[in-house]
Amino acid sequence: MTNRIVIDAETGWNTPRKPGHSPPGEDAGPGGLPPKESVAVAEFSHVRRFVVMTPRALLSLVLASCVLVLLASSSSCASLPGDSGAARDVGGVFTAVFTWFEAAVEYMFGMIAGGDGGGKGAKGKRRAAITKNRGRTYTNYQVLRLRPTTDEDVQELKTLEDEHGLEFWSPPVKNGTSDLMIPPDVSEYLREYLQDRDIEFTVLTNDLEAEIKKQNPKPKSKYSEKLLKTDKGHPLTWARFHRYKDILDYLDYLGSTIPDLVKIVTIGKSSENRPLKVAHISSGKRKDAPAIWIDGGIHGREWVAPSTALFILKQLTENYNTNKAVVDGIDWFIMPVANPDGYEYSHSVDRFWRKNRSKNPAKRYEDYYDEARYGRFFWGDDAETCQGVDLNRNWDFHWKEIGASSSPCKPTFAGDRPFSEPETRAMSDFIMDRSDQIKAYLSLHSYSQMLLLPWGYTKQNPKDYDDLMYVGRKAVEALQRLYGTPYKIGTSPSLLYPTSGSSDDWAKGKAGIKYSYTLELRDKGTHGFLLPASQIVPTGRETFAAIKTIAKHVVNTSD
């Protein structure tokens, strides 16, 4: 059967972007399928700069001449400056150069024929609209849940990501479910494509932008926020998802009001220089107390994870009297936001941002090709590369073996090397220094309502799998006693998909922490990452019940 999906190869590219700058195809989704018009306008804008003749323009002329000479003589041409690797497939770049020149010639003829040369006509207006719209919007974006049943289907679906740049929220697996976000302009084709292949699907969300607007209630007013801070001493509520600044205020509040119980430790700085903070809870009642580590928000868009970590922090500190049993015998290390840059970016620019925001240093061939395609390479936007590393693929244990990407433009980019990121380095150094003390490593994510245990990188189970399953089952039973929320327990390859370089695998495999779990919190996809703020408290309560159960077990087994 032929592939009937019509995603224009011209525009089916992942478009690198950065805040405050609008690359061609600003309206494109993470899938990077920019509207044709946007690309055209962007190309024309480069042509205008061509007229000014910057030094880079001259360079492009030289290179273009080189292309012509190459074609005439079939001799080898110089490699692209700054990256000898790019020369490996110079042919592709030449194709892009010709595409560009074609556009330039078309444009020149357009100008001569009395077209829009000054950028003040319709195209100019469109360009202004593209530039003005800095945040990524998701109007009429849908989320489909797919259920592929054969290996062929899975392979087919993978091409949607690899070749067409669509973004899976969970990758396709045989006889499993997989959530795919799609921009409105491919919706019709994609449905046809799935129906042709008999791949079952349901629509989870029809308009992501509408859901985004509903998720997080705004504070009533600046005044009420101030009042809250004066009354309570901090601005945090459990009625909405707060910005990182509020979270830091809360940590400082705890550290200064209950200093005998809570110490706030700065363990490093993020790639954008935000402080990475851990709350260390210790009542000092037990000498050499075993410890439990909890982190939330390794992935920016999973907002319920930081809010749950903060909820648990509150229970263990402000509600110490109720929870003495698990505080007096145990030290707790809680890092509510492990990826503050990604978290902030998901609030301010792109709601579905997953990675951190580090600038990927080494440009790859694909980046050059991409830039050449849009003319950027020749015109000086050389800072324009895909940003961010998936902080749950960057840990130094079976790094990048499976379920991780080598491309900086992909959401699961593993980084250039293990622990390339300041966030994972800070966390792993801190944990490693206390690896004898820490008896359980717990990482909070969302969504899918699962308790995952190692290994992620292989289908083989760890030797003490039964112990981990036993404690895991007890934890889930406790969780379900509150609201009956269904949870699955198992390894990532058995329940979801294989992953490598993840924090839970590292905690067990390298730091030697026996009880290492990843909790995929609410929900199962009805709201997905856009879980309503009204579920912060129930999610916090049930997760705390599960974690208390794990904690009690740790106390019993580590004596």
Q: 37 an active-site residue?
A: no
- The residues, any chain, with a CB within 8 Å of residue 146's CB and separated by 6 or more, are 157, 172, 177, 178, 179, 180, 194, 199, 200, 201
Rounded to the nearest whole angstrom, what is the least distance from the CB of residue 444 to Zn ion in the complex? Answer: 9
Q: Which stretch binds Zn ion (CB under 5 A): 36-44, 292-300, 434-442, 468-476?
A: 292-300
Which is nearer to Zn ion, 96 or 335 (by Cβ)? 335
In the three-class reduction of DSSP (H, G, I as helix; E, B as strand; rest coil), residue 367 is classed as helix
Count residues near Zn ion (CB under 5 A): 3
Residue 50's φ and ψ, nearest 5 degrees, are: -60, -40
Binding flags for Zn ion, 300-319, as an x/- string (CB under 5 A): --x-----------------
Which is nearer to Zn ion, 23 or 528 (by Cβ)? 528
d(CA 138, CA 30): 10
Rounded to the nearest whole angstrom, what is the least distance from the CB of residue 392 to Zn ion in the complex? Answer: 6
Q: Which stretch binds Zn ion (CB under 5 A): 175-183, 272-280, 293-301, 526-534?
A: 293-301
Q: Choose which of 136, 373, 376, 445 interacts with Zn ion (CB under 5 A).
A: 445
> Which residue number is nearest to Zn ion in terms of Cβ?
445
Which is nearer to Zn ion, 29 or 300 (by Cβ)? 300
Binding flags for Zn ion, 208-237, as an x/- string (CB under 5 A): ------------------------------
Which is nearer to Zn ion, 39 or 451 (by Cβ)? 451
Rounded to the nearest whole angstrom, what is the least distance from the CB of residue 287 to Zn ion in the complex? Answer: 36
- The residues, any chain, with a CB within 8 Å of residue 474's CB and separated by 6 or more, are 549, 550, 553
d(CA 325, CA 317): 12
The residues pairing with 142 across neighbouring beta strands, listed in sequence order, are 182
Rounded to the nearest whole angstrom, what is the least distance from the CB of residue 424 to Zn ion in the complex? Answer: 14
Q: Which stretch binds Zn ion (CB under 5 A): 322-330, 400-408, 444-452, 527-535?
A: 444-452
By CB under 5 A, tell whether 355 contacts Zn ion: no
By CB under 5 A, tell whether 274 contacts Zn ion: no
Rounded to the nearest whole angstrom, what is the least distance from the CB of residue 101 to Zn ion in the complex? Answer: 44
Instruction: Give helix 536-557 / helix 304-317 axis angle, nearest 10°.
Output: 60
Q: Which stretch binds Zn ion (CB under 5 A): 50-58, 204-212, 269-277, 294-302?
A: 294-302
By CB under 5 A, tell whether 299 contacts Zn ion: yes
Rounded to the nearest whole angstrom, what is the least distance from the CB of residue 530 to Zn ion in the complex? Answer: 15
367, 408 contact by CB (below 8 A): yes
The residues pairing with 438 across neighbouring beta strands, listed in sequence order, are 291
235, 249 contact by CB (below 8 A): yes
d(CA 493, CA 284): 40
Which is nearer to Zn ion, 70 or 495 (by Cβ)? 495
Does residue 447 have a cis peptide bond before it, meaning omega lies within 30 degrees of 0?
yes
d(CA 149, CA 199): 8
Rounded to the nearest whole angstrom, what is the least distance from the CB of residue 266 to Zn ion in the complex? Answer: 24
The number of C-alpha atoms within 13 Å of 507 and in the hemisphere containing its C-beta is: 29
Which is nearer to Zn ion, 392 or 549 (by Cβ)? 392
Mark out the alpha helices in 197-339 (DSSP H runs): 208-215, 222-232, 244-257, 304-317, 320-327
d(CA 557, CA 361): 45
**DSSP code at position 362:** S
d(CA 169, CA 53): 44
Which is nearer to Zn ion, 156 or 302 (by Cβ)? 302
Candidate list 156, 302, 371, 520, residue with the active-site label? 520
Which is nearer to Zn ion, 45 or 539 (by Cβ)? 539
In the three-class reduction of DSSP (H, G, I as helix; E, B as strand; rest coil), residue 519 is classed as strand
Rounded to the nearest whole angstrom, what is the least distance from the CB of residue 288 to Zn ion in the complex? Answer: 33
What residues make contact with Zn ion under the rule CB under 5 A?
Answer: 299, 302, 445
Q: Which residues are catalytic?
A: 520
